[in-house]
Chains A and B, each alone.
Chain A
Amino acid sequence: MILLERIWENLQQKKATSAYCCEEATLTYGELNLWAGRLCAYLQEHFCRGTPLIVYGHKQRMMAVAFLACAFGGFPYIPVDRDTPLPRMRAILRSAQPQAILAVDPLEGDGVPVVELAELERICSGTERAELPYPQRGPEEIFYLIFTSGSTGTPKGVAVTCGNLDSFVRWMATLFPNPPAVIINQAAFSFDLSIADFWPALAWGAQEYVLSRSTQRDYPRLFSRLDQSDGELMVLTPSFAALLLADKSFCRRHMPRLRVMFFCGEPLPPGTAQQLLERFPGLGIFNAYGPTECTVAVTAAAIGIKEARLSHLPVGQAKPGVEIRIEDSGNLLPEGETGEIVIVGDSVAAGYMGDADNPSFGRRDGKRSYRTGDMGRLENGVLYCQGRWDLQVKIQGYRVELRDVEENLCVIPDVEEAVVVCKKALDGQVLRLVAFVRMRAGKESSATRLRALLTQRLPGYMCPAIRLMERFPLNQNGKCDRKRLEEMANGRTNFGTDPADRK
């Protein structure tokens, strides 16, 4: 695997260079090699190569150590953020059947063996010199499994191979002919946007500079971390960029080395791109697109001053090894017409864990293909995304199936029916989820109580604002009128009483 071979060289040659910087500490390539080497030896001794291990925590240095130990040891790893509520974690455990959990944060294993932080630290600080072995991974081996929202209410594990990731990192290298020395990470490791910073950083011998969740909500701390970073590349969601832009000091003077921002995960509003180009003259902006099922991203467009004036930003051309097809029920559409985006080629993942026959994955011209469910059109080979045809949305860069939220609301006792819609900004960006909930006859509850119960089941970004309803508006077919509820959530209609609507 080329990626790991590059990293292996850096581990040997850049021993004193900082590889990973989080709030608690900085790890050099030399330290990373020793720690991960010892952990890798331990894993190989105790577990069976090729079967998955969960790496649970947030962005501590031990996370980086565990990812490398798994990668070099031949174990598919499943990154799970500590923000994940217990029932969600249990669903992941049931689906993934991991051999063990490397628990950087405390966790009950529910019968799965847990290697706790103290034990991980003991293993890593051993005295024997065990460096990481030279990588031997085949292209079809699973490199990581990332769990994403599924429409049935249970998360789905996407199996990404070594070949998939090699292809992605090779492409990233062509986008950055002059590789950055410091890369700033925003996304949690359970969100595959982080793959676009973590692995390229190590392949380039650069420093991965992470921002923890608590830092991200504390402006003074966040900006002082950014000021100290010497960051040259930021990998982030447009929502996070909007948060940074809310403060005037987010500008070139404070981050003189920042050269490029790589966006993926949700549509980049042109206004955000314009503001960034004003604050950072000459900044390079990549607007990338791709589902988790196709290894982070498969297209990217460079957005300059000219493009930022467009009303709708392109997401760019297909990366090498990938073909973008626009289809309507399996039939190829001519250029310029809108249809479903189908991705064909070497970025398409091996499939969902435990769901080999999922119809979204298939083959076209002898190559793997994935039907994204995203709508789009091609113009001169450049892709433009145009939303979804189903009930999947992006919120703060995370992918959420609205049905997933609805299913999780409906298992709360006495909830009769729940419909989740989006409150959107004028440019179409999803601001938040709004759930309309109807209780069983004679049962009462409060929005606060329902929300509190839901936060025990779903990560924060999936928890909607809740509005209790006596009855739902119906459409002509007698079904719940989702459109009408959407209008209500967006304050465009006066159906019923709606205290939360804005004037």
Chain B
Amino acid sequence: MEEQILELIRQIGNNGEEIGVEDELWDSGVLDSLAFIMLLDEISDRWGVEIQPTQVPLKRWENVRSIAKLVEEAAGYPK
């Protein structure tokens, strides 16, 4: 999952080509509001989970690792 999210963010983020799984995504500008909406759409298309952003603390969008965990939980993957 981490790899897939990483690949996704490298595609839709701003200058995300060189990021790693633990790099912060917001202050660095890789994610902004538009990239974020695209990310939500892609997560919904690829894993069939509709994440309501209001239900998720900002901290969980912090980096690729935390997003991967979030998507796994939302998709009901076994831990």
Contacts and interface: CB of A to CB of B under 8 A. Distances in A.
Binding partners A and B: yes
Interface of A: 216-223, 239-240, 242-243, 246-249, 396, 431-432, 446-448, 451, 455, 460, 463-466, 499-500, 502
A32 to B, nearest CB: 31
B14 A246 contact: no
Could you tell me the dominant secondary structure of chain B's interface residues? helix
B26 interface: yes
B54 A223 contact: yes
Contact of B11 (A246, A451, A500): A500
B29 A455 contact: yes
A217 to B, nearest CB: 7
Given A448-B18, A465-B14, A239 B33 contact: yes
A500 B10 CA distance: 7
A455 B27 CA distance: 11
Contacts of B40: 246
Contacts, number: 68
B32 A248 contact: no
A502 B17 CA distance: 12
A503 B61 CA distance: 24
A249 B52 contact: yes
Contacts of B37: 242-243, 246
Nearest to B11: A502
A502 to B, nearest CB: 6
Given A446-B18, A448-B15, 9 more contacts: A219-B54, A247-B52, A247-B53, A396-B33, A451-B29, A465-B15, A466-B15, A500-B11, A500-B17
Nearest to A431: B34
B53 A246 contact: yes
A247 B50 CA distance: 9
B29 A447 contact: no
Contacts of A451: 14-15, 29
B58 A219 contact: yes
B76 interface: no
A243 B29 CA distance: 16
5 contacts: A239-B33, A240-B33, A246-B53, A451-B29, A464-B14
B56 A463 contact: no
Contacts of A465: 14-15
B18 to A, nearest CB: 5
Nearest to A250: B54
Contacts of B55: 220
A452 to B, nearest CB: 9
Interface string B30-46: 00111111001000000
A465 B33 CA distance: 14
Nearest to A243: B33
B54 A249 contact: yes
Contacts of B26: 217
B29 A460 contact: yes
A350 B11 CA distance: 45
B57 interface: yes
A221 B55 CA distance: 10
Contacts of A466: 15
Interface string B1-30: 000000000111011011000000010010
Contacts of A499: 10, 17
Contact of B56 (A219, A446, A447, A455): A219
A448 B28 CA distance: 10
10 nearest A-B residue pairs (beta carbon): A219-B53, A218-B58, A223-B54, A465-B14, A219-B54, A243-B33, A247-B54, A451-B15, A247-B53, A447-B15
Contact of B57 (A220, A240, A432, A448): A220
Nearest to B12: A502
A235 B56 CA distance: 26
Contacts of B54: 219-220, 222-223, 247, 249
Contacts of B14: 432, 451, 463-465
A263 to B, nearest CB: 16
Nearest to B40: A246
Contacts of B57: 220
Contacts of A223: 54
Contacts of B56: 219-220
B31 to A, nearest CB: 9
Nearest to A222: B54
Contacts of A455: 29
Contacts of A217: 26, 33, 58
B14 to A, nearest CB: 5
A446 B16 CA distance: 12
A248 B17 contact: no
A240 B34 CA distance: 9
B60 to A, nearest CB: 10
